[in-house]
Structure 1
Amino acid sequence: MAVTDPETRTPYGGARKGEPGKTFDEIWQQPRGLRYWSAVSHQAVGKRFIVTGFCFFLIAGVLALLVRTQLIVPGNTFLDSETYNQVFTMHGTLMMFLFAIPILGGFAVYLIPMMLGARDLIFPRLGAFGYWCYLFGGIILMSSFLFDAAPDGGWFMYTPLSSNEYSPGAGPDFWLIGITFAEIASVATAVELIAAILCARAPGMSLTKMPIFAWYILIFAFMIAVGFPPLIIGSILLEAQRLLGLPFYDAALGGDPLLWQHLFWLFGHPEVYIIFLPAAGMVATMLPTFVGKPLFGYGFVVAAVISMGFISFGLWAHHMFATGLPILSLTLFSAASTMVAVPTGVQIFSFIATLAEARPRLTVPMHFILGFLFIFVLGGLTGVMLASVPFNLQAHDSYFVVAHLHYVLIGGMVFPLFGAFYYWAPLFTGRMMSEVLGRWVFWLMFTGFNLTFLLMHLTGMRGMPRRIATYPEGIGWDRLNLLSTLGSYILAAGVLLFVVDFIRHRRVGPHAGRNPWGAATLEWLYPLPNPNFNFHAIPAVRSREPLWDQPELTDRRAERIDGVLRGTADSRRETISCDPITGEPIQIARLPHPTWTPFFAALGLAVAFGALLASFYWISLAGLCFSVLVFLLWAWEPSDAGVLRPDGMGRTLPVDLADRRSHTHVVVVGLLLVLFALHASLIFGGLYLWNVVPDFAELTVRPLGLPLILAAGAALAMAVAGTVARRWALSERIGASGAMSGLTALLAAGTTAALGWAILPVSPFDTALGAVIWATVTFVAVLSAAAVLWGLFNLARDLTGATRPGQARHAFNLATYAKGLAAMALATAGLLLAFALTGGA
């Protein structure tokens, strides 16, 4: 039953008397039954990420118990070696790829709009699409058990062990295809979060007034956008080698297995900080609540988070000290590995200083925060030890590294995550979890964790290598492994008790009421659980702690708080889009209602990826075409762009503005950031092979004059044509803009054709460098195909009258995309020129 607004005498959040349109309850109501899965709101999608991620966590935990049970005594035959390799590979893979980042992304998707004063994420369908990609990728990976083809090459899938020669089965293919699909989901979610944080904040919430959690998630999203592409490219190249025989990592044809390690760890080491940052953001958000004081050193923490984001990309070879890198490289990467401790230390000291400001309330979330500080600091100390090259060479591939990894990741992520579950559970369910059971959960997990992994430091120092299925008796590892295994059972008991507590509290937990913790951020503004629309009126913000510093937000009932969009009757979902820097409203953003398009777009891609496993290439092509068709239908929806609307606070704002500050433009820039990172990964691969394997660097390239001149000219002309289309669209010359969009499409196709002409004499099967060159040009060709579709799409809209005067978004953003594509095409042409001039063309 809807709550009645005492001021308007209409249902809670509804239209004022005499105004047409549905109530907010009706507009934002979640569909039920089977149609629930068509919901695209951030609350529904965030819960799906969290629940699915936790299910993968439980599966990975069971696999970890199998590993520890195998190692409980010497010479154990509980698991054979092949099964053991599959179990530890899937444990690490699920934890790193299908649990840690997706569940943290799920919390971000759920919390960020509430914290920032938005009714939803600015691109809800993109988040829903990301979730379905994540789920289908996980299903593909887990289905390997059904076919007795679970991957067994470790969660890092090193070459050449993952090549056809040493792993002839389908296990690595399941890993590569499933993980690549799941990584696409993470990248899509990251781009959505960047746009949401920059463009969907409450009036007055400038960047300096954002909640600290938003800063952590913003850097987290940027790191995903830059850090995941190297792994995506590396996985695609490895799968192409396995399916097509292209020699990217084949040393006999000029490839190098270490190229995989470089690409993997360009993702893998930043991933540690990608996992740490959202968890630390949770701590930075919860800690002031229980201390009753603002976070100490907010500006220093923001600077430290940004610095960590930059520095973390400069130390990927921290994991490759034993691979024979030059001494100078070892020195530089060792220094970078030590340097990253500085921004980490700034954050830890900020948390400790906040604790020192007042006596904290020792709630269950506070217990997990203190556990995080203890465990993560110990993990950081061993990390500084491993940053030293001489010590690293001694401890490399031993259980010391296993202990360090778990102290950093479980201490730095799992303990804050469980604290976050207890802290934010009332938002999900409207009820409080048990303080008594919560303390039992904490102490079981804390004791079990330290018993399991603290002893592994000693096991590693006594020489036990990791990834072994058994060990002989009497060499000093027996008792340590026995105690570690017992500790893992205690840790698992704590997790099991948490599951019981969470299920139990949904029925019998005490009702939470409004802001049960006395927090300062906007997600606690309304009685719990939060309404589907988050805010009836989006309040203006003057502080980082609005619920502490703005009494007008807490002295009256939530439904009576004044703000933007209050009482503006409409049958569409909408929120405010703001200036990325100042936070001032610049437009009203229309949001989609429940739709199946994200599901079917992801399903088409899942069919395309899955069919590759059975070499059904026509089915794969059909699935890809189906997905492209769904995306085109997704984008064809009618728009109210250009309409002026009152915002409910005396201002008039446009709907869906075409502007460099608009959310649609920001998301295109975010997409280009991902594409630049993908392209740079291919360029890195080519330059690496060119320098490391010089005997295979000679290429036969068509005479350089005409092809590369045509490619460069077409690329520049494409950028100019896109810019002209934008200007004509802004001046409402619809037909002329459509024609220029069509010309942009034609020039994109011409750019690819010219680059293809230049590399025709190069065989992708003869040398690894030739294969990388073909992969780079193919990547540009795929982006060009997208530009062709985009340009023809704009032309079709203009010719059919679907684009009306004042609606310039599609042309505006195509111009930005065309410039980015032109830059990548020119970089590719320059690479070809460099290879040809130095390779004896």
Structure 2
Amino acid sequence: MTLPPNPPQNALRLHRELERIWGRPPGLRGALCSVNHSEIGKRFMIASAVFFAIAGLLAMLIRAQLATPEGAFLDAAQYNRIFTMHGSIMMFLFAIPMLEGLGMYLLPKMLGTRDLAFPRLSAFGWWCYLFGGTILILALLAGVAPDGGWFMYTPLTSKAYSPGINADVWLLGITFVEISALAAAVEITVTILRMRAPGMRLSRMPLMAWYLLGTAAMMLAGFPPLILGSVLLEVERAFDWPFFDVARGGDPLLWQHLFWLFGHPEVYIIFLPAAGAISTILPVMCRTTILGYGAIVAAVLGLVFLSFGLWVHHMFAVGIPHMALAFFSAASALVAVPTAVQIFAWIGTMWKGHPRLHLPMLHLMGFFGTFVIGGLTGVMLAIVPFNWQAHDTAFVTAHLHYVLIGGFVFPMMAGVVYWLPLILGRERVPGVGTAAFWLIFAGFHGTFLVMHLTGLMGMPRRISVYPDNPEWIWPNLISSAFGFVMAAGFALFALDLVLQVLFGRRARRDPWGAGTLEWAMPMPPPSYNIAALPPGPGADALALARGEGALPGAPRGQRETLVVDTLSGAPRFVAVLPGNSLLPVCTAAAIGGFVLLMLAGLYGAALAALAGVGAVCWWWQGFSGRPTGPATVPVAPGLDLPLHWGMEDTLARSGLVCLLVADGALFGSYLFAAGFLTVIAPGWPAPASGIGTLPAGLLAGGMLAGLAVAAGLARVRGARGAAAGAVAGLAALMLAGLLAAQLDDPTRHARDALRAAGLAYVALHAGVGGLLALVCAVHRRDGAIGPGAQGVWRLWQDFTLATAAILVALVAVQEAS
């Protein structure tokens, strides 16, 4: 789309008006209610850096303990808490939130839009992350931190072997944090697919957007198995439902399957955004364009697909059948192919360009020198005989750190150095950052290269002393000494950032000569990013700042931005985004109250807290109000588009589709658990069921009928239809409660516990469906809702009906067999 230039406008007046609309109030209230993507992204990155520092201090305690065979610093219990918290913080509080923050900050700027699709969802995710991470750190300070390893294997973490709240802190705190990750995944996916600049086709997106899209898709499918496992284990610990108890039909291996269904995609969830930073920064440092754009996109999609077929890679030593060993070994080796495609594309980019050894390029060279070694040792561990020898040794620890620090930390440091002038508007203070890089690089390889040898010499992971193994003394002492060198390097890197904030000179626009869209904005960017959206490729930055582009300014006093067609990028309609609000922090606080009550063992009060969460969620539905203004608005000369009120394919509907992908992955993980226990677990077949077949069948049929009626009424427009749909959904919920009364005692056998858990899942969805119907009824009555909300309710009811029917069929098959 090409536009003639708009008439010149007063740039200062335009800026003030846009800042009034898109900015936040001053003071504490502004900090609590802000939903601006730049601010939320910076909060994520700063908080994750703080958690990284805490995890680094814990790592230094570990290295100090292992420097001598007697380990005089920590006793065994303290050591278990320290290494558990180190791994948990690095994985859940640093790596994932750092990429969330980077994506939230950069994506709208790279895509040429003003904000993310769901600003309040981003803010809600931030508060969940902050509160969940705070719970974990306070538990560490109070001496009740989790101590079962960052993988929390059962039965070690069952109530019998971990009677305190240590394991509960991990299960509830990490699940709280994972809400943030799923919120970010929905946000990133919808923003990339629906909110690009006009005319930006998928095939012309920045590579960073492709990488973040793949990452978000993996998060939507990869996090639910861990969420399910955490919920099942917490329910077992709290209410004695035996999902993992062998004596009553459970199996500890189910936890390992659910954990690694998340855990191996997690490696690529961490790697892909870092690789996106490489694909963005490397061509700029080499003064050329990226080589093999299409091949890189194909490699990203291949990694997304293959990463979900590797989880048994971590379970080769548990005694699985040889055919499965061969399949997963081959898949683990095959995943090196799309990774190698990217490596060769980057090498080709350097070959055809003229690399400049600026500090970001030094960090990228550190990535190449580190990640390739980690990839090669990964292929070694994919071979079953070698895996059996190296399993649970320090060799695996070294491989993990080569992949994660090489594949994530070095590229992220390159990204920080590269994009910090954009974020701060200030240049670096020369010299300090280069010294920090060399200390980190030398310290890292001195620490972990030697650790490969320590593992091959037979040293297991997670031990605090080794008095009977003098051959491990020197390798461990060398690793510990270089570990402190690496820590000094990270401290110097932090000092470099502080110096840039305090003493850096004002940076010129686009200091690296990148020419990409994020550098077309003022430095630092204002809250609204750009005064007008780019009307097409090659838009002039100064013209956009003057408001010469699509959807200029804020003439209607609303947060307006464009929504485009997913494939072509053609403008579809104008979305009015919600403004600053206390709803996100209040909702996160309500969930935090539920978590704290569960930790205290006050389960009745926790159920009441859940009702409070529902009340706060009901508060969300009132934000929209009546649509104001005309049905269509001018976007550019000769182009008028409708507002989102009258559209069916709204951003909310796209967001729900993404959420249902995650919800479906959760339900699929539940079906996997049911199938695994039925076929593999000892203690099956289960004892004869005492369910009254006829009453249970009638109640199940009535529940399905109620959900089917609600799904049908969701297609009927009007307040009466919505009200009737709410009644049908709530009736289905009541029948589910009556059906629960017919079930056998869930503490008797894992089959009965699974049935109760499945019924609770359907009942929760029926309740939410009833609330959605009430929302539609209220807004329909007031004339303040469009067809999009009705479509959201319809999708939810259809999904609930489908999952309920599958659950009833599963129980019927079990009873028949």
Equivalent-residue separation in structure 1 for 2:398 and 2:431 (angstroms): 30
- For the pair 1:129 / 2:124, whether they are aligned, the reply is yes
Equivalent-residue separation in structure 2 for 1:82 and 1:384 (angstroms): 34
Query: Residue 549 of structure 2 aligns with which residue?
Result: 563
Q: What residue identity is the alignment partner of 1:264?
A: F
User: Residue 739 of structure 1 is aligned with which of 702, 711, 720?
Assistant: 720
Deviations 1:183-207 (A, max 9, x none): 1111111111111111111000111
Moved more, 518-527 or 218-227: 518-527
Equivalent-residue separation in structure 2 for 1:197 and 1:721 (angstroms): 33
Equivalent-residue separation in structure 2 for 1:718 and 1:201 (angstroms): 36
User: Residue 644 of structure 2 is aligned with which of 642, 648, 656?
Assistant: 656
Structure 1 residue 827, shift from structure 2 partner: 1.3
Q: What residue identity is the alignment partner of 1:671?
A: L
1:23 partner SS = helix
Q: Aligned in 2, Cα 1:567/1:248: closer, same or farther, shift over 3 Å?
A: closer
Query: Residue 798 of structure 1 aligns with which residue?
Result: 780
Deviations 1:243-297 (A, max 9, x none): 1111110011010000000000000111000000111111111111111222111
Query: Residue 422 of structure 1 aligns with which residue?
Result: 417
- For the pair 1:196 / 2:191, whether they are aligned, the reply is yes
Equivalent-residue separation in structure 2 for 1:305 and 1:434 (angstroms): 36
User: Residue 644 of structure 1 is aligned with which of 612, 632, 641?
Assistant: 632
Moved more, 474-483 or 112-121: 474-483
Moved more, 608-617 or 112-121: 608-617
Structure 1 residue 753, shift from structure 2 partner: 4.6
- For the pair 1:24 / 2:14, whether they are aligned, the reply is no
Equivalent-residue separation in structure 2 for 1:754 and 1:836 (angstroms): 20
Q: Aligned in 2, Cα 1:639/1:310: closer, same or farther, shift over 3 Å?
A: farther
User: Residue 95 of structure 1 is aligned with which of 90, 93, 114?
Assistant: 90
User: Residue 683 of structure 1 is aligned with which of 637, 657, 671?
Assistant: 671
Moved more, 759-768 or 634-643: 634-643
Equivalent-residue separation in structure 1 for 2:447 and 2:141 (angstroms): 31
Query: Residue 581 of structure 1 aligns with which residue?
Result: 567
Query: Residue 752 of structure 2 aligns with which residue?
Result: 770
Q: Please give the residue correspondences for 1:285-296 in structure 2 after superposition, counting only pairs within 5 Å.
A: 285-296=280-291
Contact preservation (8 Å) 2:11, 2:546: no
Deviations 1:281-328 (A, max 9, x none): 111111111112221111111111111111111110110000011111
Q: Please give the residue correspondences for 1:747-826 in structure 2 after superposition, counting only pairs within 5 Å.
A: 747-755=728-736, 760-799=742-781, 801-803=782-784, 807-826=786-805
Q: Aligned in 2, Cα 1:433/1:264: closer, same or farther, shift over 3 Å?
A: same
Equivalent-residue separation in structure 2 for 1:746 and 1:474 (angstroms): 70
Contact preservation (8 Å) 1:49, 1:106: yes
Query: Residue 547 of structure 1 aligns with which residue?
Result: none
Query: Residue 532 of structure 2 aligns with which residue?
Result: 537
Q: Please give the residue correspondences for 1:585-734 in structure 2 after superposition, counting only pairs within 5 Å.
A: 585-637=571-623, 638-640=625-627, 643-657=631-645, 659=647, 661-693=649-681, 695-698=683-686, 699-700=688-689, 701-703=691-693, 705-722=697-714, 724-725=715-716, 728=717
Structure 1 residue 349, shift from structure 2 partner: 1.1
Q: Aligned in 2, Cα 1:10/1:459: closer, same or farther, shift over 3 Å?
A: closer
Identify unmatched segments of 5+ residues in structure 2.
Answer: 1-5
- For the pair 1:73 / 2:59, whether they are aligned, the reply is no
Equivalent-residue separation in structure 1 for 2:580 and 2:392 (angstroms): 49
Structure 1 residue 745, shift from structure 2 partner: 2.5
Equivalent-residue separation in structure 2 for 1:743 and 1:43 (angstroms): 42
Structure 1 residue 673, shift from structure 2 partner: 0.9
2:142 partner SS = coil
Equivalent-residue separation in structure 2 for 1:747 and 1:198 (angstroms): 35
User: Residue 351 of structure 2 is aligned with which of 356, 362, 374?
Assistant: 356
Structure 1 residue 744, shift from structure 2 partner: 2.5
Equivalent-residue separation in structure 2 for 1:702 and 1:540 (angstroms): 66
Cα RMSD over matched residues?
1.8
Equivalent-residue separation in structure 2 for 1:837 and 1:676 (angstroms): 26
Equivalent-residue separation in structure 1 for 2:10 and 2:185 (angstroms): 41
Q: What residue identity is the alignment partner of 1:147?
A: A
User: Residue 496 of structure 1 is aligned with which of 491, 496, 506?
Assistant: 491
2:14 partner SS = coil
Contact preservation (8 Å) 1:708, 1:758: yes
Equivalent-residue separation in structure 2 for 1:579 and 1:817 (angstroms): 23
Query: Residue 473 of structure 2 aligns with which residue?
Result: 478
Q: Aligned in 2, Cα 1:687/1:673: closer, same or farther, shift over 3 Å?
A: same
Query: Residue 376 of structure 2 aligns with which residue?
Result: 381
Contact preservation (8 Å) 1:199, 1:663: yes
2:745 partner SS = coil
Contact preservation (8 Å) 2:40, 2:126: yes
Contact preservation (8 Å) 1:312, 1:340: yes
Q: Percent identity?
A: 44
2:760 partner SS = helix
Query: Residue 236 of structure 2 aligns with which residue?
Result: 241
Q: Aligned in 2, Cα 1:418/1:12: closer, same or farther, shift over 3 Å?
A: farther
Equivalent-residue separation in structure 2 for 1:256 and 1:497 (angstroms): 48
Query: Residue 3 of structure 2 aligns with which residue?
Result: none
**Taking structure 2 as the reference length, what is the TM-score of the superposition?**
0.96
Equivalent-residue separation in structure 2 for 1:327 and 1:529 (angstroms): 57
Structure 1 residue 758, shift from structure 2 partner: 5.1
Equivalent-residue separation in structure 2 for 1:109 and 1:279 (angstroms): 14
Structure 1 residue 516, shift from structure 2 partner: 0.9
Equivalent-residue separation in structure 2 for 1:176 and 1:362 (angstroms): 45
Which gives a bigger RCO, structure 1 or 2 (Cα 8 Å, sep 6+)? 2
Q: Please give the residue correspondences for 1:6-85 in structure 2 after superposition, counting only pairs within 5 Å.
A: 7-9=8-10, 11-14=12-15, 23-37=17-31, 38-85=33-80
Structure 1 residue 802, shift from structure 2 partner: 4.7
Equivalent-residue separation in structure 2 for 1:658 and 1:413 (angstroms): 43
Structure 1 residue 798, shift from structure 2 partner: 2.4
Identify unmatched segments of 5+ residues in structure 1.
Answer: 15-21, 543-549, 729-736
Contact preservation (8 Å) 1:568, 1:646: no
Structure 1 residue 23, shift from structure 2 partner: 1.0
Equivalent-residue separation in structure 1 for 2:508 and 2:621 (angstroms): 41
Q: Please give the residue correspondences for 1:400-415 in structure 2 after superposition, counting only pairs within 5 Å.
A: 400-415=395-410
Structure 1 residue 715, shift from structure 2 partner: 3.3
Contact preservation (8 Å) 1:363, 1:435: no
User: Residue 835 of structure 1 is aligned with which of 807, 811, 814?
Assistant: 814
Equivalent-residue separation in structure 2 for 1:223 and 1:440 (angstroms): 36
Equivalent-residue separation in structure 1 for 2:685 and 2:736 (angstroms): 19
Q: What residue identity is the alignment partner of 2:559?
A: R
Structure 1 residue 350, shift from structure 2 partner: 1.1
Deviations 1:514-533 (A, max 9, x none): 11111132110023111111
Q: What residue identity is the alignment partner of 1:797?
A: H
- For the pair 1:222 / 2:217, whether they are aligned, the reply is yes
Q: What residue identity is the alignment partner of 1:24?
A: L
Q: Please give the residue correspondences for 1:267-278 in structure 2 after superposition, counting only pairs within 5 Å.
A: 267-278=262-273
Structure 1 residue 470, shift from structure 2 partner: 1.0
Q: What residue identity is the alignment partner of 2:759?
A: V
2:644 partner SS = coil
Structure 1 residue 664, shift from structure 2 partner: 1.5
Structure 1 residue 558, shift from structure 2 partner: 4.7
Deviations 1:483-505 (A, max 9, x none): 10111111111110111111111
Count, aligned residues: 804
Q: Aligned in 2, Cα 1:139/1:293: closer, same or farther, shift over 3 Å?
A: same
Q: Please give the residue correspondences for 1:173-322 in structure 2 after superposition, counting only pairs within 5 Å.
A: 173-322=168-317
Moved more, 599-608 or 763-772: 763-772
Structure 1 residue 416, shift from structure 2 partner: 0.5
Structure 1 residue 661, shift from structure 2 partner: 4.0
Structure 1 residue 381, shift from structure 2 partner: 0.3
Moved more, 618-627 or 388-397: 618-627
Structure 1 residue 36, shift from structure 2 partner: 2.9
Structure 1 residue 477, shift from structure 2 partner: 1.0
Structure 1 residue 773, shift from structure 2 partner: 1.4
Q: What residue identity is the alignment partner of 2:436?
A: V
Equivalent-residue separation in structure 2 for 1:356 and 1:809 (angstroms): 51
- For the pair 1:331 / 2:326, whether they are aligned, the reply is yes
Structure 1 residue 557, shift from structure 2 partner: 5.4
Deviations 1:167-219 (A, max 9, x none): 11110011111001001111111111111111111000111111100011111
Deviations 1:546-594 (A, max 9, x none): xxxx2x525x455236321114512111211111111111111112222
